[in-house]
Amino acid sequence: MADVSSDPGRWRDVDKLLARPGNIVGQDFEPSPTLREDIGEIARVLVVGAGGLGCELLKDLALSGFKNIDVIDMDTIEVSNLNRQFLFRSICTPCQFTFDVGKSKAEVAAERVMKRISGVTITPHFCRIEDKDIDFYNDFNIIVLGLDSIDARSYINSVACSFLGKFLTCHVNFPCYVF
């Protein structure tokens, strides 16, 4: 089982961001050397999607110290997922039988990450994102999209905009914008 606190050097870059003021943070931001631990303990994170991107996000968030994670996905595991979604298995040997095909992606992904990373709680939701009311999404401090559907991304963006009043969009290798 992975211990997310075993190597202090792994946090060097994150601590540089959280322990000093900068021009990309809000006016109310107060730097602190303990902020990383505080965020990991307090923040509720929702990962939308438990496929190829969602599996990576769940693993990375848990290894980064986030303790309270939920994952929502309406899909079940198919044979075609096994080559790229590393949390899912199809193993049949005399010593071991693990067959995830047909099971909920959210439930299997949550179970596998919690088995490997101590101290993290991942709550799976096996349903469509539209099945949850707006209050469900409002309970999270961070919502991370691991989706390949433009319609689903648009839906989550509209939900987030409805209770935040601001829309933040970020893309790899491009600046972030607040609308």
49-79 per-position pLDDT tens digit: 999 999 999 999 998 889 999 999 999 988 8
Q: Which residues are 44's β-sheet partners?
A: 68
**Per-position pLDDT tens, the chain of length 179:** 555 556 667 667 777 767 777 676 667 777 777 777 777 788 899 999 999 999 999 999 998 889 999 999 999 988 888 877 888 887 766 666 568 889 999 999 999 999 999 999 999 999 999 999 988 998 998 899 998 889 999 899 888 888 755 555 555 555 554 44
Which of 3.40.50.360, 3.40.50.720, 2.60.40.10, 3.40.50.200 is the CATH number of 35-147? Answer: 3.40.50.720
Please, what is the end-to-end C-alpha distance for the chain in angstroms? 42
Cβ 2 vs Cβ 117: under 8 Å: yes
CA 11 remoteness from chain centre:
18
How far apart CA 138 and CA 32 sit, in angstroms, is 26
* Strand, helix or coil for residue 53: helix
User: How many Å apart are CA 108 and CA 8, to the nearest integer?
Assistant: 30
